[in-house]
Chain A
């Protein structure tokens, strides 16, 4: 310490050297190729963002904050067939809240199921069954969403209606489970369940991967202390995998927020904010865009682009939030 001070006083501390290496030509070429690959997705994302922003700008400007706070969506035309900008209103509040509700239901249902499935696959399933189930789950993650939608419509909805009635009967005193008038089909609840089925494979897959990386020495430490399999999982696997599960859930949430066709098939889209999840009236930004796109005039198309932009930003925000959560809870269990 004293020596360092002494030499500093004498000015004898040498300047820090700059350390460089001259990369070889082949290395530089490869570097350019991989950088190009990495940049391309960023560029495409940026292009989509600018396209949506450019197209939706005029609508966002004229509607202002009402675009996300009001639920009116009406195109008013004058007698000549031109759009009357004064009375035309675009607001997606109901759609945003609907999207949020459906996704929340999906996450609430899907995360516990997925975590249990992942634990089963890693720690309980016999090897042969594990192999088969892992393949099936991974296949399900890549399944076309319209098939989930159709199955949800014809198979899930009739039973889901029954469960919804049960929920309403026993928990109807809780405001969000109120149903009036008694329409139970095509509700956010049903759409949430279909979304849950869709994202369970994704969350299961991610969770299984994280759980399987639990350090063996910790697992053995727990067993050597007389742990049962379940107490070992609780003490070692879950703390270790927690951040991974959160990450998987956010990946699933991302898909749930943007899911279009499956929700479109099973959800009754109504331009009115509805917090009653069992009632057959809901909203979803992506499905609304699909619903309106076919017969939209030029002005309405722009409004749909603006809605797309909002969805884009929402997804981005959720992913950023997920990143924060993962980083904050990540350190402890590792």
Chain B
């Protein structure tokens, strides 16, 4: 509390968010994080055409942790996570500089098979995007077909992925109906199950709950918490409470009209209760953004 007093802030939203995050942080096994394993971003810059949208991002994502990226719209959060699995390069005119190391190896080094990279670094998008021409089970197993992977027991994998995504009980009786027949929240969990089926080490989530209602959001957050034990999760979110609830670390990004930069990075509890930078404080207290 004394820290908060010195920054001249009352016990409002921030301290409660800080408490949420701190409780989570302390109750969890952050000690299981192993340095040097996982994903490391080194000096990432990104451009669209001549316009630089992201400047000098360096961040480590240790396995077994959830990292939240927060910041106002247009600060480069989505661009940043799209550089992490090489989805950035699909946009015409997009360019990047820097390195992304997965278990020590640069995913941008020449001769890398980009499809293999994306198998290890999965992605869940803002809008649920199941394949409408496929059934629920085909959707979950789509990655195997797309990447031409072989699995011994597809039924087990199907159940396991849906179970981990928290969807199994709701769909086990209608696995052969089409993906589009599910509700928005279920579709998003189907997409999570789909990305789990290729056994990624890292899961990137680009505002996975922004199109969902609070109930579905809660289910997805529970799913994230379960998944975090076994993989690295990086989540972009506009929802402070969500960042506080699900993440171990938080990075705050900001653009002052130019390229987005990282303002602050630290354990989520500290970002929400004792931010070092006044801009972070203003943002997490809701004074702007």
Contacts and interface: CB of A to CB of B under 8 A. Distances in A.
Nearest to A217: B129
A225 B194 contact: yes
Nearest to A224: B123
Interface stretch (A106-114, A228-236, A272-280): A228-236
A231 B87 CA distance: 17
Given A221-B130, A221-B191, 9 more contacts: A215-B129, A218-B132, A223-B118, A224-B195, A225-B147, A228-B146, A231-B148, A333-B132, A334-B132
A235 to B, nearest CB: 6
- Please list the 4 inter-chain residue pairs (A to B) with the smallest Cβ-Cβ separation, ordered nearest first: A239-B133, A227-B146, A226-B147, A226-B119
Interface in A230-247: 231-232, 235-236, 239-240
A236 B169 CA distance: 28
B47 interface: no
Contact of B142 (A215, A217, A225, A332): A225
Contact of B131 (A127, A218, A224): A218
Contacts of B195: 224-225
Contacts of A222: 131, 142, 146
Interface string B81-121: 00001010010100000000000000000000001101100
A228 B85 contact: no
B198 A235 contact: no
Contacts of B123: 220, 224
B191 to A, nearest CB: 7
Given A225-B122, A225-B194, A225-B195, A220 B127 contact: no
18 contacts: A217-B129, A220-B123, A220-B125, A221-B131, A222-B131, A224-B118, A225-B119, A225-B122, A225-B194, A225-B195, A226-B118, A226-B147, A227-B115, A227-B147, A228-B148, A231-B146, A231-B148, A235-B142
Contacts of B115: 226-228
Contacts of B118: 223-226
Contacts of A226: 115-116, 118-119, 143, 146-147, 198
B61 to A, nearest CB: 17
Contact of A217 (B92, B125, B148, B198): B125
Contacts of A227: 115, 146-147
A4 to B, nearest CB: 26
A225 B87 contact: no
A142 to B, nearest CB: 29
Contacts of A240: 133
Most buried by B among A218, A221, A240: A221
Nearest to B118: A226
A283 B191 CA distance: 55
Contacts of B133: 239-240, 332-333
Nearest to B128: A217
Nearest to A236: B131
A217 B90 CA distance: 12
A224 B87 contact: yes
Interface string B133-154: 1100000001101111000000
A181 to B, nearest CB: 50
Contacts of A235: 131, 134, 142, 145-146
Interface in B218-235: none
Given A217-B125, A217-B127, A224 B132 contact: no
A215 B147 CA distance: 20
A179 B231 CA distance: 68
A15 to B, nearest CB: 35
Contacts of A333: 132-133
B112 to A, nearest CB: 13
Contacts of B122: 224-225
A226 B196 CA distance: 12
A217 B148 CA distance: 21
Contacts of A231: 145-148
Nearest to A222: B146
A333 B90 CA distance: 23
A239 B131 CA distance: 10
A56 to B, nearest CB: 46
Contacts of B119: 225-226
